[in-house]
Amino acid sequence: MAHLTLNHFLVIGALLFGFGMLAVVTRRNAVAVLMGIELILNAANLNLVAFGRYVAGGISGQVFGLFVIVLAAAEAAVGLAIILALYQMLRNIDASQVTTLKE
Amino acid sequence: MELQHAAHHLAPLATQAASYLWLIPFFPLVGAVINATMGVRLQRRFGKGLVHSISIGAMVASFAVACVAFATLFGLDGEHRFLQDTLWNIFTAGKVSVDLGFALDPLSMMMTLIITFIGTLIHVFSTGYMADEPSYWRFFAYLNLFVFSMLLLVMGDNFVLMFFGWEGVGLCSYLLIAFWYTDSQKAAAGMKAFVVNRFGDFGFVLGLFLLFWALGGAWHKGPEGKLTYAETDMASLHTTANAGHEAGEPAAEHDSGHVKVGPTLNFRELRDQIVITSTGVAEHLKHQTLFGFGLLAMIGILLFVGAMGKSAQLPLHVWLPDAMAGPTPVSALIHAATMVTAGVYMVARLNFIFALSPTAMGWVAFIGALTALFAASIGFFQYDIKKVLAYSTVSQLGFMFIGVGVGAYWAGAYHLLTHAFFKATLFLGSGSVILGCHHEQDMRKMGGLGKLMPTTKWTYLIACWAIAGFPWASGFYSKDEILWKAFTQESMSFLGMPAPWLGQLIYFMGIIAATGTSFYMFRSYYMTFTGEYRGGHGDGHDEEHHGHGHTPHESPLSITLVLAALAAGAVLAAILGIPTAWSGSAPILEHWLEPALPAIVKFAEASHSTEFLFQAIGVSAGVIGWFFARVLYKDNQSHVPARLLERWKRAWTVVYNKYYVDELYQATVIRGSVGIARVLSWFDKNLIDGLVNLAGAVTRVFANIDGAIDRYLVDGAVNLVAGSALSAGSILRRVQTGRIQTYLYGALVGAIAIVLINFIIK
């Protein structure tokens, strides 16, 4: 059983970021986009904790991770609220259809 | 030479300040201004009475002040008779200094009294004559303005004020001749007077410039025969002249101690420096030449051209007969008594200049004699009573110029005075007749008025008596004095050549003219006042149209009283000029005018018996004229005039048409000016307009080019910038899709690109 190194965590983090980014960029459903963002945030979390464990030491990485989790919760709430408002206004949550930012 | 002899006792004029002189011209000016600005309203609200009260009041006040001045002047002794009133300096520029100053010496005093006295009488006469005139106020405003200008002319102490007055009387003359301006013929007569006067004024101004300039320097012939103008050092002139005098006449020195020499416009300063020989100015002027002509002769002749215009001498006399289109009081005041004598006055005032040049003297006297003769002959055959008087005036002015030309300045001035009285009487008498005959001026339609208008008849007869030169009326004394002086004058030149015969020639011309004067005056008297009235019936169908062909009537009191006063003056003025041969002492007027006429002119000595003989010739000339007039025209009985007319039809036509002088002017001056105007108009239309149009076209071409550059180049550049910005915007706006995911693509690609660049650069 090979020893777990920093690189393993970084690869997982990069994959998570990639999948999250893919979801954000490609999915049309606004809720799915939000879920993509969650994946990106968790990728960042994983990197923070991994760097905290292997490079910096101490707990600062984990504290940052906790902050990001709280931030993600707040972000999810706000994001869902925006989606609800959007739905109420446009009866639609398809991100490719909502182009009011154009004007 | 004579001048130098006399110069011992000629001192600079002592002046006496008299601060009230300005009032004399001021009153008529005020009257004119009031009537000109408020006359219409005054006349409408208060009637004509107030209008003429203002005017006559101004005249009376002016006359009263003139009398005070006369009393003051009379109280001084001869040498000091010079009142001066300088108000302020009008302008000073270099050597030209002009003051608003009035001066009265015996000559201008005489003129002032004539103007204010006769002017007042004629104002009174006008109240009767112009009673039916709607623009009564305008007439009186003009009359007052005229008197003001005339007083300015006479009283101004320098050439500039004189010239103001000179032009002012010309203006008033124009305004009054064309008083009834709706009649185009009368308006044209006014314009004619104005334009002809301009010809003369031009000469006057030129003469003035020459005089001013001559006092300042001289032309000298340079080394290569080139003429150069150099200012004369008057101080050195003064000393050299003194040096010359010192040997023989040391007495001359003290005179010139405080005489200002050099160019001046002031009459007194001019007189002092020319008359007092020790300044050397007179000698200096005598020797100056311009283009080979004597400068003084040129100055004299040019100044006289001005006098010819104003005083209607040949060939500038044409305006005066036409001036009779104006109201009759105007003819009496302006075109007989005062304004036309301005030229005579000017020559008399500048006697010291004219006396220096025998050529100028000869010229003045000869033109005067020619005019006297010429105008008298036209007067023979005129039928319009005012035309007769007009030509008579021209002729009498000729006599005055004989007087001032031959150097008998006081006699010329005396004839001016007597003429003012008797010609004013004649004109106003004719005015009374014209009024009585309901504005009929043709003597053929008059006749027999003696019974109907006794006062007019008698005053007219007295004036005829005076003008014809019968003894005991004023005209005799003045005319005989002039002719006598002409005969004894032997030192004149004719166009630069000494001509001792010129005086005698002028005398004979004068005697013939005097005979003619007597003839045409008595002809007009007999045609008008004797025989039967020819107006209301028979040949006069004009009157029927007017609806009042009934008998003429005597004029109102305002007219007859004035006539009586003037006729009395015409007789009484004789007292002023009783000749030495009769009384043993110098005539009163000659003595009075002596200080103002310092020029000494030499006349041939002759005994009193010769003088009596010449007076007898003068009287017989008058008698001959009267006799023929009586035989031919009394009571309209004789058929001789008609027969003579048949016989000499052609000659008569020439004279009746005034020798075709007007036609000559028409053919030369007027046709010439119109021709020149036409050439200039052609020139204007074709050449100047062409040039202007060319310039316009060129400008337009340039403007078009410029416009094109603007439109296509400048506007193009601006539009290009704007267009490219616009198209860039429309291209770039596609990037802005509004889809969040597109933006994210962008952000992602950007991030990857940064990372890649980071790798590559490393």
The ipTM (two decimal places) reads 0.80
Choose, out of B744, B745, B752, B755, the residue to mutate when testing the contact with A (most A CBs < 10 Å): B744
d(CA B87, CA B101): 6
| Min Cα–Cα distance to chain A from B736, Å | 6
| Min Cα–Cα distance to chain A from B758, Å | 19
**Residue B5: predicted pLDDT:** 41
Measured between beta carbons, the chain B residues lying within 8 angstroms of A99 are: 737-739
d(CA B258, CA B251): 15
Q: What percentage of residues in chain B have a pLDDT greater than 70?
A: 90
How much is the average pLDDT of B556-562?
Answer: 83
How much is the average pLDDT of A73-84?
Answer: 93
Give, for B86, the enclosing helix (H) or strand (E). Answer: strand B83-93
Is residue A18 one of the residues assigned to a domain? yes
| Min Cα–Cα distance to chain B from A56, Å | 24
Classify the C-alpha dihedral B78-B407-B470-B462 as positive or negative: negative
What are the CA-CA distances from residue B344 to residues B308, B316, B520, B603 (Å)? 9, 15, 24, 21
How much is the average pLDDT of B23-28?
Answer: 91
Choose, out of A99, A100, A103, the residue to mutate when testing the contact with B (most B CBs < 10 Å): A99
User: Which amino acid is it at B432?
Assistant: S
Q: In this complex, which of A25, A101, A102 lies closest to B745 when CB atoms are compared?
A: A25
d(CA B512, CA B379): 13
Residues B594/B598/B603/B605 CA torsion (nearest 10 deg):
50
Query: Which region among B104-108, B121-125, B141-145, B488-492 has the lowest average model confidence (pLDDT)?
Result: B488-492
Measured between beta carbons, the chain A residues lying within 8 angstroms of B741 are: 24-26, 33, 95-96
Q: In this complex, which of B737, B744, B745 lies closest to A99 when CB atoms are compared?
A: B737
Let me know: does B255 contact B276? Beta carbons within 8 Å. Answer: yes
Q: Do B741 and A101 touch (CB under 8 A)?
A: no
Measured between beta carbons, the chain A residues lying within 8 angstroms of B738 are: 98-103
Q: What percentage of residues in chain B have a pLDDT greater than 90?
A: 14
B542 pLDDT exceeds 60? no
Q: In this complex, which of B739, B745, B748 lies closest to A99 when CB atoms are compared?
A: B739
pLDDT band at B226 (very low <50, low <70, confident <90, very high): low
d(CA A43, CA B107): 133
| Min Cα–Cα distance to chain A from B757, Å | 20
| Chain pair A-B, CB pairs under 8 angstroms | 29
How much is the average pLDDT of B44-65?
Answer: 89
Classify strands B83-93 and B96-104 as parallel, antiparallel or unpaired.
antiparallel
| Min Cα–Cα distance to chain A from B735, Å | 9
Measured between beta carbons, the chain A residues lying within 8 angstroms of B740 are: 33, 95, 98, 101
- Tens-digit pLDDT profile for residues B266-304: 888 888 888 877 777 777 777 777 777 788 888 888 999
**Residue B709: predicted pLDDT:** 92
Other residues' Cβ atoms within 10 Å of the Cβ of residue B99: 20
SS3 assignment for B631-665: HHHHHHCCCHHHHHHHHCHHHHHHHHCHHHHHHHH
Count structural domains, chain A.
1
Is residue A48 one of the residues assigned to a domain? yes
Q: Do B736 and A98 touch (CB under 8 A)?
A: no
Q: In this complex, which of A24, A98, A100 lies closest to B744 when CB atoms are compared?
A: A24
pLDDT band at B242 (very low <50, low <70, confident <90, very high): very low
Q: In this complex, which of B736, B737, B748 lies closest to A25 when CB atoms are compared?
A: B748
Let me know: does B514 contact B481? Beta carbons within 8 Å. Answer: no
Measured between beta carbons, the chain B residues lying within 8 angstroms of A101 are: 738-740
Measured between beta carbons, the chain B residues lying within 8 angstroms of A33 are: 740-741
pLDDT band at B457 (very low <50, low <70, confident <90, very high): confident
d(CA B177, CA B594): 36
Q: In this complex, which of B736, B739, B745 lies closest to A95 when CB atoms are compared?
A: B739
- Residue A39: closest CA among A67, A17, A9: A17
Residue in the structure block whose two tokens are 């009186």: B140
Residue in the structure block whose two tokens are 């020319």: B274
Nearest CA in chain A to B736: A102
Choose, out of B733, B741, B745, B748, the residue to mutate when testing the contact with A (most A CBs < 10 Å): B741
B246 pLDDT exceeds 50? no
Nearest CA in chain B to A96: B739
- Tens-digit pLDDT profile for residues B326-377: 888 888 888 778 888 888 999 998 888 888 888 888 888 889 999 998 888 8
d(CA A27, CA A32): 6
| Min Cα–Cα distance to chain B from A85, Å | 17
B632 pLDDT exceeds 60? yes
B544 pLDDT exceeds 50? no
- Tens-digit pLDDT profile for residues B81-92: 888 888 888 888
Nearest CA in chain A to B743: A25
Q: In this complex, which of B736, B738, B741 lies closest to A25 when CB atoms are compared?
A: B741
How much is the average pLDDT of A3-9?
Answer: 88
What are the CA-CA distances from residue B326 to residues B28, B176, B331, B335, B367 (Å)? 21, 6, 7, 10, 27
| Min Cα–Cα distance to chain B from A1, Å | 35
pTM greater than 0.95: no
Let me know: does B300 contact B274? Beta carbons within 8 Å. Answer: no
Q: How far apart are the first and last CA of chain B?
A: 127
Q: In this complex, which of A21, A25, A102 lies closest to B736 when CB atoms are compared?
A: A102
Nearest CA in chain B to A29: B741
**Residue B249: predicted pLDDT:** 37
The domains of chain B are located at 217-290, 357-575+618-656, 661-761
Classify strands B83-93 and B16-17 as parallel, antiparallel or unpaired.
parallel
User: Which amino acid is it at B593?
Assistant: L
Residues of chain A that touch chain B, judged by Cβ-Cβ distance less than 8 Å: 21, 24-26, 33, 95-96, 98-103
B94 pLDDT exceeds 80? no
The domain in which residue A18 lies consists of: 6-102
Residue B352, SS3 per DSSP: helix
Measured in whole angstroms, the distance separating CA B506 from the mean position of its chain's CA atoms is 25
**Residue B230: predicted pLDDT:** 60
| Min Cα–Cα distance to chain A from B759, Å | 18
Question: From the CA atom positions of chain A, what is the Rg in Å?
Answer: 17
Q: Do B738 and A95 touch (CB under 8 A)?
A: no
Measured between beta carbons, the chain B residues lying within 8 angstroms of A32 are: none
Is residue A1 one of the residues assigned to a domain? no
d(CA B603, CA B509): 19
Q: Which residues contact B620 (CB under 8 A, 6 or more apart)?
A: none
**Residue A15: predicted pLDDT:** 94
A66 pLDDT exceeds 90? yes
Nearest CA in chain B to A18: B748
The more confident residue out of B191 and B469 is B191
Nearest CA in chain B to A102: B738
| Min Cα–Cα distance to chain A from B739, Å | 5
**Residue A41: predicted pLDDT:** 93
Measured between beta carbons, the chain B residues lying within 8 angstroms of A95 are: 739-741
Structure letter (DSSP) for residue B324 = G
Classify the C-alpha dihedral B519-B522-B523-B524 as positive or negative: positive
CATH number of the structural domain spanning residue A58: 1.10.287.3510
**Residue B725: predicted pLDDT:** 94
Q: Do A103 and B738 touch (CB under 8 A)?
A: yes
Q: Do B738 and A100 touch (CB under 8 A)?
A: yes
Measured between beta carbons, the chain B residues lying within 8 angstroms of A100 are: 738
**Residue B220: predicted pLDDT:** 57
Let me know: does B520 contact B551? Beta carbons within 8 Å. Answer: no
| Min Cα–Cα distance to chain B from A5, Å | 25
Residues B737/B743/B749/B750 CA torsion (nearest 10 deg):
110
Mean pLDDT of chain B: 82
SS3 assignment for B285-317: HHHCEECCEEHHHHHHHHHHHHHHHHCCCCCHH
B14 pLDDT exceeds 80? no
Q: Do B738 and A21 touch (CB under 8 A)?
A: no
- Tens-digit pLDDT profile for residues B484-538: 888 888 777 777 777 788 888 888 888 888 888 888 888 888 888 887 777 664 4
Q: Do A101 and B745 touch (CB under 8 A)?
A: no
Let me know: does B286 contact B299? Beta carbons within 8 Å. Answer: no
Other residues' Cβ atoms within 10 Å of the Cβ of residue B539: 9
Choose, out of B739, B748, B755, the residue to mutate when testing the contact with A (most A CBs < 10 Å): B739
Q: How far apart are the first and last CA of chain A?
A: 57
**Residue B546: predicted pLDDT:** 44
Q: In this complex, which of B739, B740, B748 lies closest to A21 when CB atoms are compared?
A: B748
**Residue B254: predicted pLDDT:** 40
**Residue B663: predicted pLDDT:** 79
Q: Do A25 and B744 touch (CB under 8 A)?
A: yes
Give, for B322, the enclosing helix (H) or strand (E). Answer: helix B319-322
- Residue B528: closest CA among B458, B602, B617: B458
